[in-house]
Structure 1
Amino acid sequence: MSGDRDFIRQVQGYGLMTAEISYYMPDHPGLLQLFVWQEYDLAPRFPVLHRFLDHWRTDIEAAIHSVRIAHQHLIRPAEWRAVDGVITIN
């Protein structure tokens, strides 16, 4: 199941990476296009993204102009704060 694989990757330190790839086709260099891609990856090295970009450079005609990356760990230590006071539950 994909969900099990995704959960295991998150426990291993992977976070959700979103890449916005700006590219153009060689026959239309004045037309910049966008491709948005999400995958679990390890920051800050991003090995999954690098493999994808290597594949793009060798097997896809489109030329990469730029890549913007956002990354978020989905599993992380819980946040908590101390609260002064008394809470009464009846």
Structure 2
Amino acid sequence: MTETELLLKGYGLTTAEFFYRMPDHRHVLNSFLWQDYDLAPDHPRLFRFIAFWQSEIEGPLHSVRFAHRRKLASGEWRQVVGEFRYH
């Protein structure tokens, strides 16, 4: 799906910052930034990524913080019928 199609279906940009412990040095925290288009309030893509992290990545998660922003609301989209060019 294109970005515009996702926005029209109600998706918004979700940004998450993951804080995790280094596998070899458990006292050291590192961070990872993740962005994807997701549906609020359930955030299925974010929780799928968290499940993937917990099962496949060696560094255990310390915490996750995220923000969600719908970039396009239903009343903000309009179809343009024509085009006017000025030379």
TM range (shorter): 0.7 to 0.9
Compare 26-35 and 10-19 and name the one that shifted more: 26-35
Deviations 1:7-51 (A, max 9, x none): 111110000000000001232111111100110001111000011
Question: Using the alignment, how far apart are the partners of 1:5 and 1:29 within structure 2?
Answer: 40
Q: With structure 2 as the length reference, what TM-score do the two structures score?
A: 0.80
User: Identity rate of aligned residues, in percent?
Assistant: 45
SS in 1 for 2:14: strand
Q: Which runs of 4+ in 1 moved over 4 A?
A: none
Letter in 1 for 2:65: R
TM-score between the two structures when normalised by the length of structure 1: 0.78
The match for 1:20 is 17
Aligned mates of 2:30, 2:22 — CA distance in 1: 9
Q: Which runs of 5+ in 2 are unaligned?
A: 77-87
Per the alignment, in what secondary structure is the counterpart of residue 57 of structure 1? Answer: helix
Paired positions, count: 75
Rg larger for = 1
C-alpha separation between the residues in 1 aligned to 2:15 and 2:9?
Answer: 18
Residue of structure 2 in register with 1:75 after alignment:
72
